[in-house]
Chain A
Amino acid sequence: MASREEAPKVNAGSMADIAFLLLIFFLVTTTIETDAGLDRMLTRPNIDVPPPIPERNILPILINGQDELMVDKTIIDLKDLKDITISFLDNGGASNESENYCIYCQGERNAKSSDNPDKAIVSLMSNRETTYGVYIAVQNELVAAYNHLRNREAQRLYKTDFTAMEVLYANAETPKVQKDELKKKIRSIQKLYPMKLSEAERQ
């Protein structure tokens, strides 16, 4: 009789093969997902006619079928778009006495540009032939302009970046108490510079 003390050794030589099989299975059936992008809220389909908006409160951006960019009737380079948008949003043209006066704006206060950030509307028009990549690049610059201004205000009020607060808010590990507080702060900053982006298509 064989001694009970000695358990027979299991041969582990094929362990690697088994692990390789599993590895190859996962390689074949899964993908590395891209899970980030530009968030955008579409407007509701409305039937009623919108109220007239003074022209100074609209920043018209056009992209034509040849992917050329036009703002305010002049063709511009994409890299200038961010600065143009910032100066438009941050203009605060309404006079001191009017109720629309913007206290926190640091722009030129040009009476011919937007009254205040709440009134300022960016209108983005694209053509059917416009390339999607260019459209995304333009969208990205517009978001960058808003983020720049929102970061500035968040730094002034809460000593932190707006984008950093958003990342923290989206993080699942952030405790609920902190999230509620963050939500309030994010809302208040969004109220200072609300994103008013109107999109239309031109044939």
Chain B
Amino acid sequence: MSKFAKKKDGELPAVSTASLPDIVFMLLFFFMTVTVMKDSSLKVKNELPVASEIKKLEKKDRVITIYVGKPNREYEKIAGTEPKIQLNDKFASPSEVGDFILMERAKKAQELQNVLTTSLKVDKDANMGLISDIKLELRKVNALKVNYTTGSGDAFNNLN
């Protein structure tokens, strides 16, 4: 019976933390693979609409992104509350879109300059007027390939 008498009560065995690094590394690798580096911080509300017939966007180096949406709360004082265009890190008017596209295009490698796609990341509450202005500018600089970037889902969810 001495076997049982040895047991001291009230003392819990310590949980081994030896596998903690492994778990954290796993998380780390997950985030490293599924995310991409931020290149500009969003200054506008950007809740994308959803669509079901979507196609995957081209590689990231072939895409120029234009954001449209209502300015965030902290920028309301300088930019107002109406939807605005964001190019890189600053607010812009529709007339600046053309120059922006030309500048971004010039930055890309020669062989990519003809295959660039313009990705429009537009908040679902924005109005078409602004989008039409952007499209007009894009046509002027011959950036005809456009992708209306959306999330995936049932398009009827956009209606409300």
The answer to the question of A184 belonging to the interface, with a C-beta cut-off of 8 Å to chain B, is no
The answer to the question of A10 belonging to the interface, with a C-beta cut-off of 8 Å to chain B, is no
A144 to B128, Cβ gap below 8 A? no
Known: A36-B54, A137-B49, A137-B158; 6 extra A-B contacts, CB below 8 A, are A27-B31, A36-B56, A39-B117, A127-B128, A129-B127, A136-B51
- Cβ of B31: which chain A residues have Cβ within 8 Å of it? 23, 26-27, 30
The answer to the question of A190 belonging to the interface, with a C-beta cut-off of 8 Å to chain B, is no
A41 to B144, Cβ gap below 8 A? yes
- Cβ of A182: which chain B residues have Cβ within 8 Å of it? none
- Cβ of A16: which chain B residues have Cβ within 8 Å of it? 17, 20-21, 24
Contact of A133 among B49, B57, B119, B135 (CB under 8 A): B49
B145 to A31, Cβ gap below 8 A? no
Interface flags for A46-69 (1: CB within 8 Å of B; 0: not) read: 000000000000000001000100
The answer to the question of A147 belonging to the interface, with a C-beta cut-off of 8 Å to chain B, is yes
Residues of A within 8 A of B (CB): 12, 15-16, 18-20, 22-23, 26-27, 29-45, 63, 67, 78-79, 126-137, 139-141, 143-144, 147, 166-167, 170, 199, 201
Interface flags for B29-54 (1: CB within 8 Å of A; 0: not) read: 00110111110000000001101111
- Cβ of B135: which chain A residues have Cβ within 8 Å of it? 42, 199
Cα–Cα distance between A35 and B35 once the two chains are bound (Å): 11
- Cβ of B151: which chain A residues have Cβ within 8 Å of it? 34
Instruction: Give the distance to chain B from A177, nearest Cβ to Cβ, in Å.
Output: 22
> Interface residues of B, CB < 8 Å — how many?
58
Name the residue on B nearest A23 (C-beta). B28
The answer to the question of B102 belonging to the interface, with a C-beta cut-off of 8 Å to chain A, is no
Instruction: Give the distance to chain B from A32, nearest Cβ to Cβ, in Å.
Output: 5
Interface flags for B109-124 (1: CB within 8 Å of A; 0: not) read: 0000000010101111
Cα–Cα distance between A135 and B159 once the two chains are bound (Å): 9
B127 to A131, Cβ gap below 8 A? yes
B127 to A136, Cβ gap below 8 A? no
- Cβ of A19: which chain B residues have Cβ within 8 Å of it? 21, 24-25, 28
B124 to A136, Cβ gap below 8 A? yes
